[in-house]
C-alpha cells in the first residue's frame, strides 16, 4: 500500500517513514525542505536499506497538490506532518502559520474527499487542551482557547477534518495529539535538527552540554509543582512514530469506531524540568550548566496524557523511558557535531 507522508523529511515524519518502511508500506514523501534537508533521505536509507520516493513540493501550491494526486492516483493513505511549528514565530507571523498549516490541509482533504476510500492522519498537539483542569488529560477534556496562532491552527485543523468527515463517509481520519516528542532514532542516523536557537527544552539541553550554548535557562521554579518547575509528558519519537503505524492500520483495517477519531499520544508520565535535567546528567555523565530565570510567557504548569484510549483502541503503548529518550538525543547531538 502506498502512503503519502507530507513533511516526511522533518523530525517526526522521518521517524514515521522508517517505521512505515519497516512494516513494508510503500512511501512517497512530499516536502518543500523549508525546515529539513534532503540528506535525511540518506539517514532513512541507512536504517531501512530502502529509499523512499521523494518529491520536493510546496503544499501551499494548490495546483501542484492536484497534479500530484492525478499522477499518484493509487495513494489513498496520507500522514500529514507538513506545517510550521514555532510557537513564538507564529505570534509574529500569524498569516504564514494560517496559510501553511491550514491551506495545505484543505488542499489535501479536497483531493481525498472524492476517493472511494481514504485514510488521513493529522499531527495535532496537546496544546489544544491548554492548562487542563484535570490530570492526566483524557481526550474528552475540553479544548481551551489557543495561546498562539500555531496552537490555533491545530484546533482549527481538527475542526476542519471533523466537519469534512461528517459529510464524507469514505474519508476516515485520526488526529493524534502529541505530548512532547523528544529523542532520536537509536542509530543516530536521523533526529531533530532545530534551526537557530532551540525553543524546546531537550535540544537546548543537548546543545548546552555539547558547548554550543553557554547555559540553559530554566523558565520558572515557582509553579505549583513538587520542585516548582513545569511538568510535561516527554515521549520518545520512535514510540510516537509507532503510534502512527498503529493508527494507519486501524483505518486500513476498518477498525475505527467513527470516521473522525482523536487520540492522545504520550507516555502517561509527567516529568518536571529539573527531573529532565537530572536524568540527562545521569545518562550523559555530564554536568549541565543551568540557571533559574523568570517564567516564560504562555507556559502552562503541567500536562501529561491519559493514554488509556490509545492503549486499548490503538493497541499501542510507549515503551521507552525518559532516560533512554534523552540518551538517544545526546547520541544524536554528538553525532551531528562530530
Ligand atoms: P519539522 O519542521 O521537523 O517537520 C515538518 C516538515 O514539513 C519539514 O520537513 C518541512 O520542510 C515540511 N514543510 C513545512 N511546510 C511545508 C509545505 N508547505 N510544503 C511541504 N513541506 C512543508 O516538524 P516536526 O517536529 O516533525 O513536526 C511535524 C508535525 O507535528 C507538525 O505538524 C507539527 O506541528 C506537529 N507537532 C510537533 C510537535 C513537536 O514538538 N515537534 C508537537 C506537536 C505537534
Ligand atoms: N523550558 C525551559 N528552558 C528552555 C526551554 C524550555 O525551562 O530553554 C521549559 C518550558 O518552560 C517548559 C518545558 O521546558 O516547562 C518544555 O518546554 P518545550 O518548549 O520543550 O515544550 P512545550 O511544552 O512548551 O511545547 C512543545 C512544543 C509545542 C507543542 C507542545 C505540545 O513546542 O509546539 O510541546 O506538543 F504544542
Q: Is the CB of 273 under 6 A from ligand 2?
A: yes
Phi-psi category of residue 293: left, alpha or beta, with phi > 0 → left and psi -120 to 50 → alpha: beta
What are the pLDDT digits (tens) for 22-50?
A: 999 999 999 999 999 999 999 999 999 99
Q: Which atom of ligand 2 is nearest to the CA of 296?
A: 11
Tens of pLDDT, residues 59-78: 999 999 999 999 999 998 99
Could you tell me the pLDDT band of residue 245, with boundaries at 50, 70 and 90?
Answer: very high
Whole-number Å distance, alpha carbon 11 to ligand 2 midpoint, is 16
pLDDT digits (tens, 9 = 90+) for 204-229: 999 999 999 999 999 999 999 999 99
Counting every residue, how long is the chain? 338
What does the pLDDT look like over 151-176, one tens digit per residue? 999 999 999 999 999 999 999 999 99
Active site residues: 150
Q: Residue 33: exposed, middle, or buried by beta-carbon count in 10 A (0-12, 13-18, 19+)? A: middle
**Which ligand is located closest to the Cα atom of residue 17?**
1
Name the maximum alpha-carbon separation found in the chain: 57
Asked whether the whole model's pTM tops 0.85, one would answer yes
Beta carbons within 10 angstroms of residue 166's beta carbon? 11
Check residue 76 and give its pLDDT.
Answer: 87
pLDDT for the residue 327: 98
Burial code (b: 16+ CB inside 10 Å, e: under 16) for 46-56 equals ebbeeebebee
| Residue 9 · residue 38 · CB < 8 Å | yes
Q: Both ends of the chain: CA-CA distance in Å? A: 38
**pLDDT of 111 higher than 90:** yes
**Mean pLDDT along residues 120-136:** 97
**According to the model, what pLDDT value does residue 329 have?**
98
Would you state the pLDDT for residue 262? 98
How large is the average pLDDT for residues 87-111? 97
pLDDT of residue 184 exceeding 90, the answer is yes
Give the C-alpha separation, 193 to 171, whole Å: 33
Ligand nearest to the CA of 154: 1
Whether 148 has a pLDDT exceeding 90, the answer reads: yes
CB distance 33 to ligand 1 below 6 Å: yes
Query: pLDDT averaged over the chain?
Result: 97
Q: State which ligand 2 atom lies nearest to the alpha carbon of 125.
A: 35
Q: At 307, which helix (H) or strand (E)? A: none
For residue 338, the CA-to-ligand 1 centroid distance in Å is 26
3-state secondary structure of 42: helix
Helix (H) or strand (E) holding 31: strand 26-31
Burial class (CB in 10 A: 0-12, 13-18, 19+), 305: buried
Ligand 1 neighbour 32 (Cβ under 6 A): yes
CA of 101 to the centre of ligand 1 (A): 9
118-125 vs 171-178, strand pairing mode: parallel
| 210 pocket-lining for ligand 1 (C-beta < 6 Å) | no
Cα 21 to middle of ligand 1, angstroms: 20
Would you place residue 266 in the very low, low, confident or very high pLDDT band (cuts 50, 70, 90)? very high
Q: Which atom of ligand 2 is nearest to the CA of 179?
A: 35
The per-residue pLDDT for 180 is 98
- Contact indicator for 41, 18 with CB cutoff of 8 Å: no
Ligand 2 atom nearest the C-alpha of 216 is 8
* Residue 123 near residue 178, CB atoms below 8 Å: yes
Does ligand 1 come within 6 angstroms of the Cβ of 34?
yes
For cell 535557562, the residue is: 217
186 by Cβ neighbours in 10 Å (0-12 / 13-18 / 19+) ranks as middle
User: What is the structure's pLDDT at 338?
Assistant: 87
| CB 296 less than 6 A from any atom of ligand 2 | yes
pLDDT band at 195 (very low <50, low <70, confident <90, very high): confident
Smallest CA separation from ligand 2 atom 5, residue: 201
Q: What is the pLDDT of residue 199?
A: 92
Q: Which of 107, 109, 103, 152 is nearest to 127 (CA)?
A: 152
Is the model's pLDDT at 201 over the cut of 90? yes
265 lines ligand 2 (CB under 6 A): no
Average pLDDT of span 132-143: 97
Amino acid at each position: 500500500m502506498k502512503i503519502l507522508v507530507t513533511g516526511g523529511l522533518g523530525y517526526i515524519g522521518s521517524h514515521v517513514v522508517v517505521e512505515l518502511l519497516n512494516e513494508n508500506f510503500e512511501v512517497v514523501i512530499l516536502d518543500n525542505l523549508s525546515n529539513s534537508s534532503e540528506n535525511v533521505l540518506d539517514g532513512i536509507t541507512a536504517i531501512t536499506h530502502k529509499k523512499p520516493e521523494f518529491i520536493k513540493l510546496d503544499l501551499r501550491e494548490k495546483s501542484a497538490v492536484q497534479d500530484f494526486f492525478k499522477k499518484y492516483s493509487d495513494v489513498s493513505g496520507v500522514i500529514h506532518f507538513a506545517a510550521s511549528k514555532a510557537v513564538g514565530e507564529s505570534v509574529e507571523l500569524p498569516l504564514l502559520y494560517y496559510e501553511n498549516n491550514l491551506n495545505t490541509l484543505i488542499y489535501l482533504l479536497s483531493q481525498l474527499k472524492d476517493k472511494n476510500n481514504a485514510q488521513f492522519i493529522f499531527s495535532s498537539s496537546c496544546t489544544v487542551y491548554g492548562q487542563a483542569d484535570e490530570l492526566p488529560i483524557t481526550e474528552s477534556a475540553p479544548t481551551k482557547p489557543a495561546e498562539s496562532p500555531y496552537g490555533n491552527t491545530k484546533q482549527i485543523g481538527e475542526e476542519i477534518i471533523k466537519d469534512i468527515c461528517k459529510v464524507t463517509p469514505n474519508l476516515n481520519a485520526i488526529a493524534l495529539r502529541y505530548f512532547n516528542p523528544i529523542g532520536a532514532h537509536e542509530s543516530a542516523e536521523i533526529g531533530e535538527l532545530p534551526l537557530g536557537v532551540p525553543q524546546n527544552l531537550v535540544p537546548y539541553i543537548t546543545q548546552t552540554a555539547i558547548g554550543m550554548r553557554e547555559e540553559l535557562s530554566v523558565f520558572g521554579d515557582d509553579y505549583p509543582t513538587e520542585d516548582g518547575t513545569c511538568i510535561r509528558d516527554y515521549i520518545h519519537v520512535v514510540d510516537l512514530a509507532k503510534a502512527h503505524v498503529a493508527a494507519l492500520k486501524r483505518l486500513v483495517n476498518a477498525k475505527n469506531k467513527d470516521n473522525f477519531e482523536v487520540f492522545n499520544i504520550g507516555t502517561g508520565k509527567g516529568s518536571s524540568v529539573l527531573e529532565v535535567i537530572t536524568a540527562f546528567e545521569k545518562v550523559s555523565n555530564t554536568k549541565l550548566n543551568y540557571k533559574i530565570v523568570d517564567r516564560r510567557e504562555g507556559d502552562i504548569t503541567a500536562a501529561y496524557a491519559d493514554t488509556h484510549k490509545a492503549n486499548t483502541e490503538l493497541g499501542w503503548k510507549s515503551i521507552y523511558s525518559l532516560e533512554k529518550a534523552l540518551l538517544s538525543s545526546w547520541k544524536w547531538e554528538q553525532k551531528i557535531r562530530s
